[in-house]
A and B are shown apart, each in its own frame.
Chain A
Amino acid sequence: MPTIDIDYYEFEQMLDLQLDKDIEKINEILAFVKGEVKLFNEEEGILSVEIKDTNRPDTWSVEGLVRALRGFLGIATGLPSYVVGKQLGEVFVDQRLDGIRPFIGCALVEDVSLSDKIIRSLMHLQEKLDQTYGRNRQKTSIGLYNLDLIKLPLHYSVAKPEEVSFVPLGFTEKMTLKEILATHPKGLEYGHIISKHPVYPVLLDSEGKPLSFPPIINSNNLGRVTAETKNVLVEVTGTHHNTVCNTLNLVTLSLVDRGGKAFSMKVHYPHRKMSVSTPDFNVKEMRVNLKYANKILGLKLTTKQTAELLSKAGYDVAVHAEDEVCVRVPCYRIDVMHPIDIVEDIAIAYDYNKIKPQWRRLPTTGWQRPEEHWIRIARELMIGLGFQEVLTYTLTSPEKLFTKMNLKRKRVVELSNPKFVTMTCLRNQLLPSLLEFVSNNLHVECPQRVFELGKVTLLDAESETRTRDEERLAAVVYHANAGFSEGKSVLDAFLANLGLNYQLTETVHPSFIEGRVGIVNVENLAIGVLGELAPSVLECWKLENPVVAFELRIEEILRIKLSSGV
């Protein structure tokens, strides 16, 4: 979810509303665009707004917010009119960009009145678009230039790493593309996007002067926009033609909202035999069937009402047939992919809180896994036996699962991108989680008796997720006199109350003391282990008292119970 910073006073002024610095009031307005105030820095007048809709980059600037809100607030309904003036220049695209960054869109905006504040806001929009919609410049990146310093037409081409050099933004010395990647902060941040290619993208003017090295950095000489800049060249390069054009529209519209006049450029792709005029503010049309809308909303809207609501939501509407409207969708509403998107806007304009909720009685039967019943019984038995239930993470580390348990390392589900060194894999047994719990509670009064009913994840090549989860029960007793017989006594009581007979067979298990550990068998099926933990294991967990513990495959017990028809 993008969070955008806007100037509170500018927002108030552009909406022509008194917001009284009242967050609740602002939130009520922002609800129309799925926004919410995260922070209001009153001193600097900066409002941080979180926009939940990741698919509406047109709302990621103060101009865009006002554009989206004006209909809802009754400032101006219907489609705002945006026009592109005549074509004023050309761009030639090099074939060798295919597979690297093949697309470009350019716009010329004249007579803009910029200020430091407006430039800051533009940079903020550019950053948000680069980050989110442009997928960290992978998909698109934006450049702004002082048009008066540039000789058209432009050439979007490629260069070898050491072939071209220019002074990058914020620097004073000339650098080659290779040097920019190696030393410029932006080169270090975004270099990975293009560094695998033998040649890099460059944007040159008609005299061969570099404007920028997309998607890394602009030229300090040509690519810097200041408060004095009157005429601006906007350029977007990227890997997807649609995304490039959409991004170009959004930046250009912000400049037009600031009083600029947009003119188009012709982008030539000779190798594709394709020429595209950018930017393109044309609206698209979408037909919405009224029956469809009413069926989804549970309302009985007429075409007239629908048209009014849509106009409030910033669309133009033409009524065609009795139960169909033709909606003119502005170019910046890239989120509108399906009539359902327009239906939602009808509902928002209508106001969710005016729609009467209805609880539909459906002939369904509530159901939970039958295992749930037995899990609850197991939980209650353990509590009756005086054990405290605990809840631990299923994410853990091989160190805890194996090293600290004196076990040989086995394969478990490991993460390729762990966030914490202590959480790098899913657990395959519960016991280490409980020992960790006790080791975190050494200062707490003994005796400590704790248990957990939880899941472990095991590898299973047969399964479509290559894993299966298993429900387990583990219990741990920790105090000065804890020993095998106390554990066995608890296990006796637990299984007897489930109506199960069990046998304990001797085994050797490196986590437990030899001769004080056994496999728990029910109906000739090994369902768990009971034993006194080996001192070496206690030492690994820094435990100071003996521990007796058991871990049962509760799911097997449930299976036995369920198959016996109880």
Chain B
Amino acid sequence: MVELREQERQLMLALKDAGGASKEEQLIKHSKLPSAAIMRAAMALRERNLITIRETKQTSLVLREEGKYHAKKGLPERRLITALEKLEGKATCNKVYKTAKLEKKFAPIALGWSQRKKWTTLDSKANILQLVGKPEKGSDEKLLELLKQKGNVATEELVSELRDAVQILKSRKLLDIEEKTSRIIELTEAGKNLLKRGISAFPEVTQLTQELIVSGKWRNIRLQKYNIQAPVAKTWPGKKHPYLQFLEKVREKLVTLGFREMTGTAVELAFFNFDALYTPQDHPAREASSIYYVKSPKEGSLDSYQKALRNVKRTHEDGWRTASSGWQYSYSIKEAKKLILRGHGTCLSARTLLSRDLEIPGKYFSIARCYRPEIGDKTHLTEFNQVEGIVIDKDLTLRDLLGVLEKFALEIAGADKVKFRPDYFPFTEPSVELAAYKKGYGWIEFGGSGIFRPEVTLPLGVKEPVIAWGLGIDRLFMMRANIDDIQAVFSHDLGWLRKKEVI
């Protein structure tokens, strides 16, 4: 007993109906099978010598857009000489072009081919074109006409004269030669015999159903084999945003290292963003081009910080008790009360230093959304996140500061080694820049830090040294995520988020 699968059986019957042989396209039309299924079934039947598959290759000529245009209007050189005839066989090039209404891009083509075909001669000094004889229609033009009539033509059907013209038109990029394989499927004798004896199919099932399982009917069916290489519909998982996931890891690391999280509002008092950090009130960082100001309400309240405000004012003006000369100007409380969008996370450190809950020794960090009116570029955004914080204890030194930086580089950036450079912030002295080296990445600037100036800590009532640090996490993220544009962080591209591998 020969067992056939359902689709194979259907194909055999369709061939029988077609009189024993049929083109593939025909079969697709008449049987209800999809073309991939037909070919799959045909291959299986051929294996068993029930059918043969004959492939024939055919080349057909198809006009391109420009070819179609010329088929309609005539080749440019033909249009050229037709115009030249009208002008009694002699005229300047421009005049001929104009009379022929030749498009600018076809003019040089027309001139070139008319000479190549020896239809015209050109007196290049006088720029005068002259007609030679009365040119007959060439084979290329005849082929063009044929194609215009028939749409496409099989090369095999062409007379030999026109076959040569194919190469000419092809080289002029007016037509394409398309190759097509067509298959004829035919029953073999064995196949015909089998059909005579009658064929039955073993029931084949695509979907295994609950009914089949529970009833036990699965024993009497066969489950169809799949092409496991075939592509399937896409599934998109729910995923964390890669940048936020990265931030979460940084947060975990900092908590593990013993840091406490500080938080605050996006809208901040200029006092904490600048004044308490010893940034003078006419500093360029406070200009409208460097910091966002709130339109309304313009001012917040400093009522809870009267003492600190007094101290900061004096410190700016003449140094107060800090042993500093101060900035030597007249400090404005109105300026301090202005509301801004925080430009860095250091304002949170200033608030923590002033807080009654400040712990000494203490380690603090914040992950703060910050804002600056910058036109975004590949490394800067107008809205961005900053990771920074402080370490406070009696007798902290520059060595401890370098230790904190080194720890961050090793633990957070996974660096192999570190390097320090002098840096500058208005609120720290000494100030240090951290560069971290990781194999495969090279050196990156990974942070800035310093010891808060006495002009910062003393007015806030803090006598212990305070190490302030900030981490260049965006650059680290860009390297980890292998992106060169920080704007991908606030990506508006769902496709990118879906495809981005988890880091």
State whether the Cβ of B482 lies closer than 8 Å to any Cβ in chain A.
Answer: no
State whether the Cβ of A132 lies closer than 8 Å to any Cβ in chain B.
Answer: yes
Interface flags, B470-501, vs A, CB<8A=1, else 0: 00000000000000000001111111011000
State whether the Cβ of A322 lies closer than 8 Å to any Cβ in chain B.
Answer: no
Chain A residues near B234 (CB-CB < 8 A): 445
Is B339 in contact with A369, judged by CB distance below 8 angstroms?
A: no
State whether the Cβ of B237 lies closer than 8 Å to any Cβ in chain A.
Answer: yes
Is B430 in contact with A344, judged by CB distance below 8 angstroms?
A: yes
Closest beta carbon of chain A to B376's beta carbon, Å: 9
State whether the Cβ of B8 lies closer than 8 Å to any Cβ in chain A.
Answer: no
Is A450 in contact with B494, judged by CB distance below 8 angstroms?
A: yes
Closest beta carbon of chain A to B193's beta carbon, Å: 51
Chain A residues near B431 (CB-CB < 8 A): 344
- With A52-B424, A388-B236 as contacts: A357 and B266 at CB distance below 8 Å: no
State whether the Cβ of B269 lies closer than 8 Å to any Cβ in chain A.
Answer: yes
Nearest chain B residue, comparing its CB with the CB of A387: B238
Is B293 in contact with A416, judged by CB distance below 8 angstroms?
A: yes
CA distance A348 to B404 in the complex (A): 19
State whether the Cβ of B49 lies closer than 8 Å to any Cβ in chain A.
Answer: no
Of A338, A355, A464, A469, the residue contacting B322 (CB under 8 A) is A338
Tell me the chain B residues, 278-322 only, with Cβ under 8 Å from chain A. Answer: 282-284, 288-289, 292-298, 300-304, 319, 322
Q: Which of B254, B255, B362 has the most CB of A within 10 A?
A: B255
- With A465-B265, A468-B265 as contacts: A364 and B362 at CB distance below 8 Å: yes
Among the listed stretches B112-120, B199-207, B448-456, which one makes contact with chain A, having 4 or more residues with CB under 8 Å of it? Answer: B448-456
Chain A residues near B398 (CB-CB < 8 A): 296-299, 347, 355
Chain B residues near A139 (CB-CB < 8 A): 282
State whether the Cβ of A183 lies closer than 8 Å to any Cβ in chain B.
Answer: no
State whether the Cβ of B267 lies closer than 8 Å to any Cβ in chain A.
Answer: yes
Chain B residues near A566 (CB-CB < 8 A): none
Closest beta carbon of chain B to A152's beta carbon, Å: 30
CA distance A444 to B496 in the complex (A): 10
State whether the Cβ of B426 lies closer than 8 Å to any Cβ in chain A.
Answer: yes
Is A34 in contact with B268, judged by CB distance below 8 angstroms?
A: no
Closest beta carbon of chain B to A33's beta carbon, Å: 8
CA distance A495 to B231 in the complex (A): 37
Closest beta carbon of chain B to A456's beta carbon, Å: 10
CA distance A397 to B465 in the complex (A): 43
Chain A residues near B254 (CB-CB < 8 A): 366
Is A355 in contact with B399, judged by CB distance below 8 angstroms?
A: yes
Is A388 in contact with B497, judged by CB distance below 8 angstroms?
A: yes
CA distance A454 to B493 in the complex (A): 18
- With A383-B238, A444-B494 as contacts: A419 and B374 at CB distance below 8 Å: yes
Of A338, A369, A418, A438, the residue contacting B325 (CB under 8 A) is A338
Closest beta carbon of chain A to B372's beta carbon, Å: 9
CA distance A389 to B234 in the complex (A): 18
Is B419 in contact with A353, judged by CB distance below 8 angstroms?
A: yes
Interface residues of B, CB < 8 Å — how many? 103
Of B243, B292, B322, B421, the residue contacting A415 (CB under 8 A) is B292
Is B339 in contact with A465, judged by CB distance below 8 angstroms?
A: yes
Of A356, A367, A390, A395, the residue contacting B497 (CB under 8 A) is A390
State whether the Cβ of A42 lies closer than 8 Å to any Cβ in chain B.
Answer: no
Interface flags, A341-377, vs B, CB<8A=1, else 0: 1011001100011011111101111111100100010
Is A338 in contact with B454, judged by CB distance below 8 angstroms?
A: yes
State whether the Cβ of B429 lies closer than 8 Å to any Cβ in chain A.
Answer: yes
Among the listed stretches B70-78, B100-108, B182-190, B388-396, which one makes contact with chain A, having 4 or more residues with CB under 8 Å of it? Answer: B388-396
Is A135 in contact with B361, judged by CB distance below 8 angstroms?
A: no
State whether the Cβ of B62 lies closer than 8 Å to any Cβ in chain A.
Answer: no
State whether the Cβ of A385 lies closer than 8 Å to any Cβ in chain B.
Answer: yes
Closest beta carbon of chain A to B335's beta carbon, Å: 14
Is B400 in contact with A338, judged by CB distance below 8 angstroms?
A: no
Closest beta carbon of chain B to A509's beta carbon, Å: 26
Among the listed stretches B18-26, B30-38, B135-143, B256-264, which one makes contact with chain A, having 4 or more residues with CB under 8 Å of it? Answer: B256-264
Chain A residues near B283 (CB-CB < 8 A): 54
Closest beta carbon of chain B to A280's beta carbon, Å: 16
State whether the Cβ of B329 lies closer than 8 Å to any Cβ in chain A.
Answer: yes
CA distance A440 to B424 in the complex (A): 41
Is A394 in contact with B266, judged by CB distance below 8 angstroms?
A: yes
Is A416 in contact with B294, judged by CB distance below 8 angstroms?
A: yes
CA distance A355 to B420 in the complex (A): 10
CA distance A54 to B431 in the complex (A): 13
Is B361 in contact with A363, judged by CB distance below 8 angstroms?
A: yes
CA distance A352 to B265 in the complex (A): 36
Of A34, A55, A135, A364, the residue contacting B282 (CB under 8 A) is A135
State whether the Cβ of A340 lies closer than 8 Å to any Cβ in chain B.
Answer: yes
Is A359 in contact with B406, judged by CB distance below 8 angstroms?
A: yes
Chain B residues near A52 (CB-CB < 8 A): 423-424
State whether the Cβ of B152 lies closer than 8 Å to any Cβ in chain A.
Answer: no
CA distance A372 to B250 in the complex (A): 13
Interface flags, B404-429, vs A, CB<8A=1, else 0: 11110000000000111111101001
Interface flags, A442-483, vs B, CB<8A=1, else 0: 001100111000010100000111111100000000000000
Is A338 in contact with B455, judged by CB distance below 8 angstroms?
A: yes
State whether the Cβ of B248 lies closer than 8 Å to any Cβ in chain A.
Answer: yes
Is B239 in contact with A388, judged by CB distance below 8 angstroms?
A: yes
Is A466 in contact with B243, judged by CB distance below 8 angstroms?
A: no
Is B244 in contact with A391, judged by CB distance below 8 angstroms?
A: yes
Is B451 in contact with A296, judged by CB distance below 8 angstroms?
A: yes
Is A437 in contact with B324, judged by CB distance below 8 angstroms?
A: no
CA distance A55 to B241 in the complex (A): 40
Chain A residues near B266 (CB-CB < 8 A): 394, 426, 455, 457, 467, 469
Closest beta carbon of chain A to B251's beta carbon, Å: 6
Is B403 in contact with A415, judged by CB distance below 8 angstroms?
A: no
Of A54, A344, A387, the residue contacting B284 (CB under 8 A) is A54
Is A417 in contact with B288, judged by CB distance below 8 angstroms?
A: yes
Is B267 in contact with A465, judged by CB distance below 8 angstroms?
A: yes
State whether the Cβ of B161 lies closer than 8 Å to any Cβ in chain A.
Answer: no
CA distance A31 to B236 in the complex (A): 49
Chain A residues near B396 (CB-CB < 8 A): 360
Chain B residues near A32 (CB-CB < 8 A): 422
CA distance A160 to B495 in the complex (A): 66
- With A366-B259, A441-B493, A464-B304 as contacts: A355 and B402 at CB distance below 8 Å: yes
Is B251 in contact with A359, judged by CB distance below 8 angstroms?
A: no
Of A415, A449, A469, the residue contacting B295 (CB under 8 A) is A415
State whether the Cβ of A565 lies closer than 8 Å to any Cβ in chain B.
Answer: no
State whether the Cβ of A240 lies closer than 8 Å to any Cβ in chain B.
Answer: yes
Chain B residues near A413 (CB-CB < 8 A): 267, 294
Tell me the chain A residues, 94-150 only, with Cβ under 8 Å from chain B. Answer: 132, 135, 138-139
Closest beta carbon of chain A to B262's beta carbon, Å: 9
State whether the Cβ of B383 lies closer than 8 Å to any Cβ in chain A.
Answer: yes
Closest beta carbon of chain B to A31's beta carbon, Å: 5
Q: Which of B244, B429, B432, B453 has the most CB of A within 10 A?
A: B429
Is A394 in contact with B284, judged by CB distance below 8 angstroms?
A: no
Nearest chain A residue, comparing its CB with the CB of B445: A36
Return 13 A-B CB contacts under 8 Å, by A number. A298-B397, A298-B398, A340-B453, A341-B429, A366-B258, A369-B261, A369-B263, A413-B294, A417-B288, A420-B382, A426-B266, A436-B492, A444-B494
Across the A-B interface, the 6 shortest Cβ-Cβ residue pairs: A298-B397, A298-B399, A366-B255, A357-B402, A344-B430, A338-B324
Further 16 A-B residue pairs, CB within 8 A, beyond A296-B398, A392-B490: A297-B399, A299-B399, A337-B319, A338-B453, A344-B429, A358-B400, A368-B260, A372-B251, A390-B491, A395-B383, A414-B296, A417-B288, A419-B373, A441-B494, A455-B369, A463-B265
Interface residues of A (CB under 8 A from B): 31-32, 34, 52-55, 132, 135, 138-139, 240, 242, 295-299, 337-341, 343-344, 347-348, 352-353, 355-360, 362-369, 372, 376, 379, 382-395, 411, 413-420, 423, 426, 436-438, 440-441, 444-445, 448-450, 455, 457, 463-469
Interface residues of B (CB under 8 A from A): 234, 236-241, 243-244, 248, 251, 254-261, 263, 265-269, 282-284, 288-289, 292-298, 300-304, 319, 322-326, 328-329, 339, 341, 359, 361-363, 369, 371, 373-375, 382-383, 391, 393, 395-400, 402-407, 418-424, 426, 429-432, 451, 453-455, 465, 489-495, 497-498
